[in-house]
Structure 1
Amino acid sequence: MTLPDLASQFVYGRLAWAVVTATVLFALLSLLRAAPLPRRARAVLLAGMAVLFLLPGKASPAYWLTLAFQYPSGLLFGCCVLKLRQHWDGRAGGAPVMTPSLAGALALTGLLLYLDAMGLLTQGYYYAGFGPTAAPVLAVLGAIGCALALVQGQARAQAGALLTTILLFTLLRLPTGNLWDAVLDPLLWGWAVVTLAVNAVRNRARTRATTSPEPVAGQSAELQPVSSLSPLGPAAMEHSSTIKE
């Protein structure tokens, strides 16, 4: 087991938490504002976030976030960089960073890890991320899969973020020296679960809209008033009744 250098952990933690927090802040602003912030306002906001998170010791929000959540995973950091790029370009509603396939893989992996951590599976999946055999093999297989996705042009943004995560883990052992901490953390897992839930609700609503019963032909005419069935309306019916009298 090789742990990352403390200096690299310090730099990574400050940078990663600054990017994650800025992404969340921009997402909230996009929900509250109909139009995106001007480019200058976005630059000032990002610069202020960088200065705030680089403050020493307890003055930095990264200090308290690290105490509460440890370090963000490399994949969360990469996904937030992609999302932050969309906000910077004014494309907050662009292509989703958390795709359904990525969300499904992360949700299932996190579920297995959390069940194992709670003692319901007791297979030692998390501790295998420190192992000298399983972790390198999984990292190599993941890097090969990401490279193939980049060559074939499939989910290139997500594949690039995952490949960068694997490289950070391989070269610097960030963030904690465990492979699972590099690709998953509670915040990223929650993002994946919420994405799956939202997609499920939308698909259910779309299915209901497409399968809703349509009015049967001829049924609407039976339900209309008698006066509306006459091509000339009530005046013509009154005139016809006068002639009969």
Structure 2
Amino acid sequence: MSLPELELQIIYARIAWGLVAASMLLSVLPTVLPKIFPQLARRTKAIVIGTVALMMVLPGEASPAHWLTLVFQYPSGLLTGYSLVALLARWRERPVIFPLHPAFALLLTVIGVVLYLDAFGVIAVGLYYRGFDSGAAAVLTVAAAVAGAAAVYFRYAGTAGAALLTSVLLFSLLRLPSGNLWDALLDPLLWAWAVGSVIWAAVRRYQARKAALLAPVVPPVEVDVEPELAQARAAAIDIEQVQYK
């Protein structure tokens, strides 16, 4: 078991919380305050990012990162990766998608429930401490890296895949944020985000199914799509009329 240096953790906390705060501000401001921030120009985005960075690097208790770390601990590498990807997307003026990918959100929700039950002693299998084990952590790290690379390559939940690869690199190279693999993949904020995304996806699916059931049934309209058959019928009608006369 190898743990990161305390100085490296402090630096990581400043950078990670800065990425989280900047990405949230650039995503939320145009939505919450559309009259004040109808569309953020690149100059405004640079000012927001610079201001957040200056606040996070303040020494000691003057930095918001100090208090955020006391309350929420270190951001997971996955949340940091999501924030970095979202920040790049906001800089390129791509649309904001607040919910996580449903499949990925469901996976994080289940993992979080199992880990929290284990931490509270409900199931008591020592799953969290396996994250410090070199053998188990190595296998899970390789599996996470393969899953992230596949998601990016096949363009299925590409954002989640890129964020997952970022978290794997942080853990593999620097053992951040705490030396435990589970802390690199999940944290309370990310888990709450995943739970909210699952609920949102479930509500939308229920509403879509309900709308489909309540939609009026329109009988099919028979349309003669064969012009040659229509001409033949018209000719037959004309012949019958001539014979009748």
TM bucket (normalised to shorter chain) is: 0.7 to 0.9
Deviations 1:40-98 (A, max 9, x none): 1111111010001000000000000011111000000011112222222222435x672
CA contact (8 A) 1:30 1:92 kept: no
Q: Following the alignment from structure 2 to structure 1, what is the Cα–Cα distance between the partners of residues 65 and 20?
A: 10
Paired residues for 1:76-155 under 5 Å: 76-93=79-96, 98-155=100-157
- Residue 53 (structure 1) aligns with: 56
- Residue 184 (structure 2) aligns with: 182
State the shift of 1:216 in Å: 8.7
**1:20 and 2:23 aligned:** no
* Cα distance change, pair 50–213 in 1 and its aligned pair in 2 (3 A): closer
Paired residues for 1:149-164 under 5 Å: 149-164=151-166
Paired residues for 1:179-218 under 5 Å: 179-212=181-214, 214=216
State the shift of 1:155 in Å: 2.9
User: Where does structure 1 lack aligned partners over 5 or more consecutive residues?
Assistant: 218-245
Higher mean displacement: 147-156 or 100-109: 147-156
State the shift of 1:36 in Å: 2.0
* Cα distance change, pair 196–60 in 1 and its aligned pair in 2 (3 A): same
CA RMSD of aligned residues (A): 1.9
CA contact (8 A) 1:83 1:97 kept: no
State the shift of 1:149 in Å: 3.4
Q: Following the alignment from structure 1 to structure 2, what is the Cα–Cα distance between the partners of residues 8 and 216?
A: 65
- Residue 11 (structure 2) aligns with: 11
State the shift of 1:215 in Å: 7.8
Q: Following the alignment from structure 1 to structure 2, what is the Cα–Cα distance between the partners of residues 199 and 153?
A: 20
CA contact (8 A) 2:77 2:176 kept: yes
- Residue 232 (structure 1) aligns with: none
* Cα distance change, pair 114–204 in 1 and its aligned pair in 2 (3 A): same
Q: 2:42 aligns with which of 39, 43, 58?
A: 39
TM-score, length of structure 1 as denominator length? 0.82
| Identical residues among aligned pairs (%) | 45
Q: What amino acid is the match of 2:91? A: W
Deviations 1:6-28 (A, max 9, x none): 22111110000011112222233
CA contact (8 A) 1:36 1:90 kept: no
